[in-house]
Amino acid sequence: MVRKPHDVQAMAETMHPALEPYTFTRGGLTTTNRVVLAAMTNKQSHPDGRVSDDEIRWLEARSKGGFGIVTTAATHVLEDGQGWEGEFGTWSDHHVEGLTRLATSIRCHGAIGLAQLFHGGMRAPESITGNQPKSASMNPLGRGQGNARAMDQKEIHEVIEAFGSAAKRCEEAGFHGVELHGAHGYLIAQFLGAGTNRRTDDWGGNQKKRTRFLESIVREVRRCTSANFIVGVRLSPELDSCGMNLEDALETLQLCCSMELDFIHVSCWDIEKTGLYHGQQQHYTSVFRELMPATLPLMTTGGIWTKDDASKGVDQGAEFIGVARAGIAHPDWPIFLQDGAEEPALPPFSEQWLEEAALNQTFIQYMRRWDGFVSN
Ligand SMILES: Cc1cc2nc3c(=O)[nH]c(=O)nc-3n(C[C@H](O)[C@H](O)[C@H](O)COP(=O)(O)O)c2cc1C
């Protein structure tokens, strides 16, 4: 069938907003659409931190499947920052060869590739790293495991520099940018939270000082990478485990708005969740959007499975729609945003389904920890 110009126009008008391209203000890089594969730890890589072919295969399938941005699993910037077995690292030059293959496999299908940089801090277990976990302050590890020790000034600077070196390796490898993992209770969040950061020096005391660690990391990453390299930050809107409430998170967000960042990613776990803001319960995404300049795009993630869910994220003001679990089950998830598309199948999924979706057995067994995701 030959389409007349007005048919094309009609189609364009009904295109889901998340399928439209987006051009980043700073470097001018354009994404094919606004659907983001959110970072997912998958335990598929090698004990020395080298990326495995399985990890590459799983991410390449999502780029091929039409995600505009593909984010890697959290990757540790120092050897002692590793949170899980099978996590790939960015702490040494011996990782660059594998990172290059990974970045190339994401780029070659048209997606923007972001590496998610992190340090586990008190959540980098001694059983994996061989070291006593470190954190902003001395913090209990729970379940009779003793304490994380407080980092000294030298160690703080070492971690900041490690984020810069890791970002540099990612750029050399061909990634378009990095997402700094400031959410979910890892080292950056441990510095942001008043519960886990009780320091009385320049790295703690009030929210501005608790944000200094993140700010120093952003500055170092910028110093080590070129001007067009994309740098974003993922934040939790509230985080009980670190003693950070919405007000604290919003103060950090506002500080982030004056850093040299290309995006903010709010991790909601469920985009329907709300927090008390100006005396009213409001969606986290809407509150974040309200405080951010229009030139700085916002990603939101949490519980998005269907086209309607994605529309809610857009209505709440997000420029980018992040999906995690739906992207595990459906490597080509953006297709469900197209006109007339059927609804995606929901969990549970059989092992066979997940194997066909390019997960290895380790990843599939890990997904059994997520209630009701893998069928018995
Ligand atoms: C298997 C798995 C691994 C995850 N690993 C990470 C991670 O490495 N970094 C991160 O920021 N979030 C991680 N998350 C959280 C997701 O990025 C996402 O925020 C969360 O799953 C909610 O989105 P969803 O409802 O679309 O799954 C992980 C989630 C899952 C299911």
Name the domain count of the chain. 1
Confirm whether 143 is domain-assigned: yes
- Gap between the Cα atoms of 373 and 376, Å rounded: 10
Domain range for 109 is 15-345
Q: Among residues of the chain, what percentage have pLDDT more than 70?
A: 97
Beta strands in 28-83 (DSSP E): 30-31, 35-37, 69-76
Residue nearest to atom 23 of ligand 1 (CA): 302
Confirm whether 308 is domain-assigned: yes
Instruction: Let me know the angle formed at the C-alpha of 108 by 105 and 109, rounded to the nearest 5 degrees.
Output: 100
pLDDT digits (tens, 9 = 90+) for 346-360: 999 999 999 999 999
Confirm whether 369 is domain-assigned: no
Name the pairing type of β-strands 22-23 and 30-31.
antiparallel
Nearest to 214 by CA among 181, 238, 185: 181
Nearest to 137 by CA among 234, 242, 215, 253: 242
Confirm whether 139 is domain-assigned: yes
Ligand 1 centroid, distance to 10 Cα (angstroms): 36
- Gap between the Cα atoms of 368 and 174, Å rounded: 33
pLDDT band of residue 27 (cuts 50, 70, 90) is: confident
Beta bridge partners of 234: 181, 265
pLDDT band of residue 14 (cuts 50, 70, 90) is: confident
- Record the tokens describing residue 153, joined without a space: 């000034």
Which atom of ligand 1 lies nearest, measured to the CA of 326? 26
Ligand 1 centroid, distance to 184 Cα (angstroms): 10
Which of helix, strand or coil describes residue 256? Answer: helix
pTM over 0.75? The answer is yes
pLDDT digits (tens, 9 = 90+) for 263-292: 999 999 999 999 999 999 999 999 999 999
Q: Among residues of the chain, what percentage have pLDDT more than 90?
A: 95
Ligand 1 centroid, distance to 165 Cα (angstroms): 25
Q: Do residues 347 and 329 make contact, with C-beta atoms less than 8 angstroms apart?
A: yes
Q: Do residues 232 and 177 make contact, with C-beta atoms less than 8 angstroms apart?
A: yes
- Record the tokens describing residue 323, joined without a space: 């999906």
Q: What share of the chain is helix, strand, coil (3-state, %, to 5)?
A: 40, 20, 40
Ligand 1 centroid, distance to 266 Cα (angstroms): 12
Nearest to 112 by CA among 76, 77, 74, 72: 72
- Whether omega for the bond prior to residue 133 falls within 30 degrees of 0, making it cis, is no
12 pLDDT higher than 80: no
- Gap between the Cα atoms of 3 and 247, Å rounded: 52
Could you tell which of 40, 59, 72, 349 is best to mutate to test the pocket of ligand 1, judged by most ligand atoms within 8 Å of the CB?
40
Which atom of ligand 1 lies nearest, measured to the CA of 184? 11
For the chain, how many helices (H) and strands (E)?
14, 15
CATH code assigned at 76? 3.20.20.70
- Gap between the Cα atoms of 108 and 266, Å rounded: 28
Nearest to 89 by CA among 112, 127, 116, 107: 116
Q: Do residues 136 and 203 make contact, with C-beta atoms less than 8 angstroms apart?
A: yes
Average the pLDDT over 122-144 and give the result. 96
- Whether omega for the bond prior to residue 348 falls within 30 degrees of 0, making it cis, is yes
Ligand 1 neighbours, Cβ below 6 Å, are: 38-41, 73-74, 116, 181, 183-184, 234, 267, 269, 301-304, 323-326, 370
Which of helix, strand or coil describes residue 140? Answer: strand
Residue nearest to atom 25 of ligand 1 (CA): 303
pLDDT band of residue 253 (cuts 50, 70, 90) is: very high
Which of helix, strand or coil describes residue 249? Answer: helix
pLDDT digits (tens, 9 = 90+) for 52-111: 999 999 999 999 999 999 999 999 999 999 999 999 999 999 999 999 999 999 999 999
Confirm whether 5 is domain-assigned: no
pLDDT band of residue 148 (cuts 50, 70, 90) is: very high
Confirm whether 266 is domain-assigned: yes
- Record the tokens describing residue 138, joined without a space: 């001395």
Nearest to 31 by CA among 18, 22, 44: 22
| HSE (side-chain half, CA atoms, 13 Å) at 96 | 12
Which atom of ligand 1 lies nearest, measured to the CA of 304? 26
pLDDT digits (tens, 9 = 90+) for 287-344: 999 999 999 999 999 999 999 999 999 999 999 999 999 999 999 999 999 999 999 9
Average the pLDDT over 9-31 and give the result. 85
pLDDT digits (tens, 9 = 90+) for 194-219: 999 999 999 999 999 999 999 999 99
Residue nearest to atom 29 of ligand 1 (CA): 40
- Gap between the Cα atoms of 172 and 10, Å rounded: 43
| HSE (side-chain half, CA atoms, 13 Å) at 331 | 18
Confirm whether 82 is domain-assigned: yes
Confirm whether 24 is domain-assigned: yes
Residue nearest to atom 7 of ligand 1 (CA): 40
Which atom of ligand 1 lies nearest, measured to the CA of 366? 1
